[in-house]
Structure 1
């Protein structure tokens, strides 16, 4: 190596991908990292405390870490391997018995750029077998391919239960495209996300399959054990959402589809997961991880509102006028009316949620009735107002 040091390359989770041959000059950090294929947590904590990982995530420059004999750490240099703003890993060079070469930092910068090109290229080179698997899986999930093709190709028992989990990326870090590729930062983050989901779900269910599809990623869990508790799967998926936030800096929402008795039911499990994801898209469901059973009321109301949105003739023009008046004059009559209805007419509870005096709320509700001609004593008019005020964009309190 041109630096004269002892080299190792790690991924973004501090797992060792490759390392150079070394002698007895290696320090405890390198020895434990190689033996465990991951940096030991006490040392990683120190590096976090010193701001090393923060520097590697946010900067393309080389950072030097002084020797710490009391910790068994020798002097070393490190540089992040990056594709645009997306971190791919780190190159570490530990100093041995001799000082590092004078131009080691320049050599490291060049090595990081070359390594980035190789890592990006490797990620884009998908084998024919993987392509076939992804094609069969995508066909199974959308119902265009029968389950037997997937079962035969992968050696699965199509007679056993399965379920589908859908994932949606909500936030992607800004930045330039990965060097040497035409992928956007969002696409690159989605590739990272697919890899993260694959690793975590495979750790929990050995024959899980992952398929990206447009803006979403789906995981099929075939051959489920009998009696698998929904809470168990929910916990697995929550771990993935936590890992996406902690390691990729993105917000992930996930919908757990129902267990279907045989593999042929996978499209139905995906459809139910999609209903929850669409409710999440519309902001009707705010949970990070949910199943249809948990949020069925919110999903159904959201679907009713979507149907009404396609039928503008089914709106009450008096309520539309009330919303438009609020927009023009900066008043809050529609929001106050909705809060009042949501609270079943409990003025004090609704006023508390709006942070206004109960008398103010009473005035606003009375004024809304005067302007619209609604009679809130009629349940049909209350129901109509609740639906349309949400449809017209009046935010629930």
Structure 2
């Protein structure tokens, strides 16, 4: 295809999208959390989600009668117990958007969480070592910045970048677009006299490939990446392209993008090139901040998911990311490395690197499957929340994806991964149940390294036995002392009554089969069973005693 073919079907000169409305005076709670950062503040409750608007930040002293206004973030100092609950209810009635309290490691914030949910107000837990005036100063700074400079959604270019584009247009006398390193249009100025290239770039959010190829051939991109040089691009009437100036945007030696200025009806101003150099340095700050906010936004989502999985988070905090209704469901999948070198062998840094590679691989596959998928790490396990799944096909499709991830990991030389799929649940409030089931399945899979992916239906009996053994392990009062007596006898006399009894029980009392497995004569096994009953006092003809003894012997073997 020729270059001109790329510009066929010209568009109306006024077919440029609007830059959108001005930002509101408040700042979303989500943006405030990104600025403050974890672990300084943790979300305990968010009944209205994280997009509630914060207009101001006030400190509320129980001795003070100051009334918080609608939309305030209220920092609640010096109140505990019933007094704090009363103030939370009162602040909620008066329209407070969120309330912050000092975190209580003893779990004292749980009653306040229930009160906040009932009052319909967000509740934040603040680390005890942070001073209230520090938090107020930090939060108020974020709110003030929002009033002055507008606000932006997480991961999107801020309104300030559009303002910068308009300022550059004023200083240069041209039509401006700001692009990232992939030639995607991030912001642009208004103005008439846009040529065909500009209209298509703005509407398509990226320059036409045919024109990008010409720029590469002309060496323009190479010069833009090389440093702070204003590059002139001549007019090409045959292509519908007017004269342009361009400058690269850099953070140190790292190229971040470029600013392009198209000449309009009037020539460029005399100071156009100088203005472009300064604008490039300003744009670099904006783009670095954009990348930081995108990373912080991802981290916030990970923290919110971790809190939800551990039962300390509020489902509403993720309601904007996860859709659950009559037609859709959610599920948790957990992954872990096997033979991860936690004992003697590879050093811990090598193990950590492998964990990061596993998490990265999982994240890529999860995002490809569902844009809204959330991934977080708890300990040595990586959890994925798959949202907005069609109920009819959810389980088979998630199983297929999970097997694909595990197969991709196992194809690598040093990543042996196992995964367990939790139950499909009907609400975000049930996500922890899906996580608990996935963990139970993965726990029993650890004894079978050949098993790569499983659900509860694959290992239900193993899970039941495993949880029963865990109960016995946690409560010694449930254990039968007669089984312990048999174990002590074996230890003291070097006999093999315990393994013989386990083989007998696992063969359902089939003496010949059990004896063959032990490589002994059936009569020898019969003698050992009589001896085991005599030493321990167990009645092996009683099915309840056989079951109880079998479970406890498995526990003694370290199952």
Scaled to the shorter chain, the TM-score interval is 0.5 to 0.7
Structure with higher Rg: it is 2
Q: Deviations over 1:272-302 (max 9, x none)?
A: 1122233345x38973322222222211221
Matched, 1:222 2:387: yes
1:277 aligns with 2:442: yes
The TM-score, its normalising length taken from structure 1, stands at: 0.60
Which residue is 1:257 aligned to? 422
Report how far residue 222 of structure 1 moved: 0.3
Unaligned runs of 5+ in 2: 1-291
What is the Cα deviation at residue 232 of structure 1? 3.7
Alignment of 1:239-388 (within 5 A): 239-280=404-445, 283=447, 287-388=451-552
User: Could you say which residue in structure 1 is the equivalent of 2:323?
Assistant: 157
Is the alpha carbon distance of 1:170 and 1:126 closer, same or farther for their aligned partners in structure 2, counting shifts above 3 Å? farther
Conserved 8 A contact 2:324-2:426? no
Change (3 A) 1:262 1:313: closer
Q: So what's the TM-score if we normalise by structure 2?
A: 0.43
Question: SS in structure 2 opposite 1:255?
Answer: strand
CA distance in 2, matches of 1:394, 1:158: 41
Counting matched residue pairs gives 263
Seen in structure 2, the aligned counterparts of structure 1 residues 363 and 393 have a Cα distance that, compared at 3 Å, is: same
* Per-residue deviation, 1:133: 1.7
For residues 283-323 of structure 1, the C-alpha deviation after alignment (integer angstroms, 9 at most, x for no partner) is 38973322222222211221111111222233233321322
Q: Quote how far apart the aligned CAs of 1:203 are.
A: 3.3
Q: How does 1:183-194 map to 2 (within 5 A)?
A: 184-194=349-359
Q: 1:285 to 1:249 in 2, by over 3 A?
A: closer
Report matched runs for 1:1-397 at 5 Å. Answer: 127-152=295-320, 154=321, 156-159=322-325, 160-172=328-340, 174-176=345-347, 184-228=349-393, 230-280=395-445, 283=447, 287-393=451-557
Cα deviation, residue 260, structure 1: 0.8
Q: Give CA deviations for 1:322-361 in whole Å, capped at 9, x if unaligned.
A: 2233344443221111121122111122233334333332
1:248 Cα shift? 4.9
**Counterpart Cα distance in 2 of 1:134 and 1:210:** 6
> 8 Å contact 1:167–1:252 — kept in the other structure?
yes
Aligned-residue Cα RMSD (Å) equals 2.7
Q: Is the 8 A contact 1:285 1:298 kept in 2?
A: no
1:284/1:302 contact within 8 Å kept: no
- What is the CA–CA distance in structure 2 between the aligned matches of 1:325 and 1:394, rounded to whole Å? 18
Gaps of 5+ in 1: 1-123, 178-183
